[in-house]
Structure 1
Amino acid sequence: MDLNTVVEIRDARHPAPWRPGDGWLGGGTYLFSEPQPHLRRLVDLSRMGWTPVQRHPDGSLEIAATCTIAELSGFAKALVAEAAPLFEQCCRAFLASFKIWNMATVGGNLGNGLPAGPMISLTAGLDGECLLIAQTGARRRVRVVDFITGAGRKVLTEGELIRSVTLPARALTCRTAFRQASLYGLGRSGVLIIGTLDPLDGSLAITITASTVRPFRLWFPLPPTSEALRSAIEAAVADDEWFDDIHGLPEWRRHMTFRYAEEIRRELGEAAR
């Protein structure tokens, strides 16, 4: 779609004062999918030259905001880590064409803050942390589960940039379980639940996304009972935090969340034993 309100595209390599009507341009797959009447100028990040994915000496994994889904998928295929299968599962949750895979970025998916964003699911499920850079150059780090505050709502301030997401080394050693549901065979995720079992201390984390307006990550020192898991979800997610749109009613999303969380509890609980 043509954005007929945009009158200028600026190269992000050449800093300039942020002004009203500015917006970051990554892959543009969402940006160009619908009218953006509030935008007047796009700041293009595509030439920043950031390494898409890199493994740090401490074992953590840093994913640049400009990393495309295709690049992340390709990297994960060669990743030697217990959690490696989760990357491809979340990439496939896009249910998108190769054209989208080659343009859509991890940072763009996070920046949209939509409940069905599978990069939100992946990075929240592996306890990721966003690196944010303000227009002043000030940097801060925010956990992904805290970065998204509601459907389409984030903690970003005016002109603030998502630079990267870092996944801790310990999370990559976890055994994972993945469940996803959609009302349609090739539809947007209505529910996406991720479980991680820590081999070091036997703790279990259940991350709820797509069915709720924001991600929820529930941590248990040991795999809980079915009743304890259900009670934890009920206590964490308020009635008005179950997402409601054309892709699924809140009642269905809630039901499937409990069902999949229990399946994951059993799957990873048996692995722990």
Structure 2
Amino acid sequence: MDLNTVAEVVSPASVDQWRPGDAWLGGGTALFASPSPEIRRLLDLTTAGWEPLTWRPDGLEIAATCTVATLVAQEHELIEKCCHAFLASFKIWNVATVGGNLCASLPAGPMIALGAALDGVCRLLGPSGSREVPVRDFVTGEGCNVLRDGELLRSLFLPHAFLNTPSAFRQGSLHPYGRSAALLIGRRDADGAFVLTVTASTTRPYVLRFASPPEPEMLQVALAERIPETAYVRDVHGLPAWRRHLTRMYAEQIRAELS
């Protein structure tokens, strides 16, 4: 879609150049997907020169401008599954960015699921400096997040401690190539803890932690108590009751697999 209100593209761009009416441009697959008449300038991040992936002793830092194609090439099982949950063509994979998926903050965003499931941290840059926000707290609702005016997502950090822990993945859609209606990831930590992350079926990520794998009844009670009925998404990709059913069914499958 053409953004016919845009009068200027600033490239390269930095946080001190932002002003009202600006939008940060990464891959653009989300930005150009819908009308945005309030945008007057695009601040291009693709020329910032950020290294897409940086392996550190304590984990993996993923630049916001890292494409899905670059990320999936890491051949990490859970990362691969989350990338394939985009259900997009190779053309989209080579343009869409990790940061764009997080900042769009749509319930079905698989990078949101990946980051929340591995206790990922978002590094944000803005006019007042930098700050870090856990992925599970970054998205606050459907299409909503904690970014302030002028802030941008610089990178997503995934701790090494959780990158190689046993995990289980479940994803379901109305159609074989449809948008995720429920995407759940479970993991078992070195201390025996069981962590379940619920996304796509809900308006924001929900992370449930247990000291050890819970009994089936305990898990279902926790899902009912910690995820409000109003948190389940209603749209053309699935009704709330069906999404809730998928969530509880997948949660039990993951619990059994990791027990």
Normalising by structure 1, report the TM-score.
Answer: 0.93
Find the residue that maps to 1:193 and give its secondary structure: strand
Fraction of identical pairs, as percent: 54
Find the residue that maps to 1:206 and give its secondary structure: strand
Q: Give ranges in structure 2 of 5+ residues lacking alignment.
A: none
Structure 1 segments (4+ residues) deviating >3 Å: 12-17
Find the residue that maps to 1:54 and give its secondary structure: strand
Specify the code of the residue in structure 1 equivalent to 2:135: V
Match of 1:157? 148
Indicate yes or no: 2:105 matched with 1:113.
yes
Find the residue that maps to 2:180 and give its secondary structure: coil
Match of 2:66? 67
Cα drift, residue 173 of structure 1: 2.2
Cα drift, residue 154 of structure 1: 0.2
Cα drift, residue 102 of structure 1: 0.3
Indicate yes or no: 2:132 matched with 1:133.
no
Match of 1:124? 116
Cα drift, residue 16 of structure 1: 4.8
Find the residue that maps to 1:166 and give its secondary structure: strand
Find the residue that maps to 2:71 and give its secondary structure: helix
Q: Give ranges in structure 1 of 5+ residues lacking alignment.
A: 78-83
Specify the code of the residue in structure 1 equivalent to 2:68: I
Aligned residue pairs, count: 259
Cα drift, residue 9 of structure 1: 0.4
Specify the code of the residue in structure 2 equivalent to 1:252: W
* Residues 15 and 173 of structure 1: CA distance in aligned 2, closer, same or farther (over 3 Å): closer
Specify the code of the residue in structure 2 equivalent to 1:28: G
Specify the code of the residue in structure 2 equivalent to 1:55: W
Find the partner of 1:232 among 208, 216, 222.
222
Find the residue that maps to 2:223 and give its secondary structure: helix
Match of 1:91? 83
Match of 1:38? 38
Q: Deviations over 1:105-142 (max 9, x none)?
A: 00000000000001101111111000011123x11110
Cα separation, 1, equivalents of 2:162 and 2:240: 30
Indicate yes or no: 2:239 matched with 1:265.
no
Find the partner of 2:93 among 91, 101, 125.
101
What is the aligned-residue RMSD (CA, Å)? Answer: 1.0
* Residues 183 and 15 of structure 1: CA distance in aligned 2, closer, same or farther (over 3 Å): closer
Specify the code of the residue in structure 2 equivalent to 1:7: A
